[in-house]
Amino acid sequence: MHRINVAVDGPSGVGKSSICTRIADHYGMIHLDTGAMYRCVALSIKRQDIALDDLKAIEKLCDTIDIEFDNGKVLLNKEDVTKAIKMNDISNFTSKIAALPVVREKMVALQQKVTKGKNFIVDGRDIGTTVLPDAEVKIYLSASPKARAQRRYNEYMEKGIESDYEIIYQDIVARDYQDSHRAVSPLRKAEDAIEIDTSDMTIDEVEEAVEDIIDKAL
């Protein structure tokens, strides 16, 4: 089997991470969750109380940040921040810092360096367009904002976390707007990406559809 890179893009809450974890398991690939990288930068900026216009300090932070993925855990400077980076305030803040050109430049360079040897499945917003324009497989996962809000709401219900569907829905719409209207590397489907509208699909069905596409490329 030859080694390939798979780029997976799509909006917030479409299930990229869950799908990519399954695909990585299935093919013995390494999953690089680039959203988690931006989330770690956001958490660091917040903790160090750096102002968003202090670009020098942000650049330095990006140059020295140590992000590792270990068995489904995300480690920031060796600390397990898997849960901390998923909190709602960090999600909203991440969307802001991910729009800064200095942050994108540093993260994209890091992602390109890491994935050079191939055998990666990389998920994010600009993977097919900017990070891996030559990826052997490019997939764009989509789902209506309503379907994504409903999935997140169900997930919270299952975990016993109290939540409000309308707030989740408004958050998703706001983040979609921020992610697709920023000046640098906005969320966009690469021209040569295959789009899968997952609105009415189960996670098993999405996995199967993605694996069909990868099988053809291998």
Q: How far is Cα of residue 191 from the mean position of the Cα atoms in its chain?
A: 19
Tally Cβ neighbours within 10 Å of residue 160: 6
Sole window of 53-61, 93-101, 112-120, 210-218 interacting with ligand DC (rule: CB under 6 A): 93-101
Per CB under 6 A, the list member of 94, 115, 129, 198 interacting with ligand DC is 94
Residue 138: enclosing H or E segment and its boundaries?
strand 137-142
Q: What are residue 89's phi and psi, to 5 degrees?
A: -65, -35
> What's the rounded Cα separation, in Å, for the pair 101 and 98?
8
**What secondary structure letter does DSSP report for 116?**
T
Residue 35 sits in the site that holds ligand DC (CB under 6 A) = yes
Residue 31 sits in the site that holds ligand DC (CB under 6 A) = no
Residue 179 sits in the site that holds ligand DC (CB under 6 A) = yes
Distance in Å, CB of 130 to ligand DC, minimum: 8
Sole window of 33-41, 45-53, 162-170, 196-204 interacting with ligand DC (rule: CB under 6 A): 33-41
List residues binding ligand DC (CB under 6 A): 12, 34-35, 38-39, 94-95, 98, 124-126, 175, 179
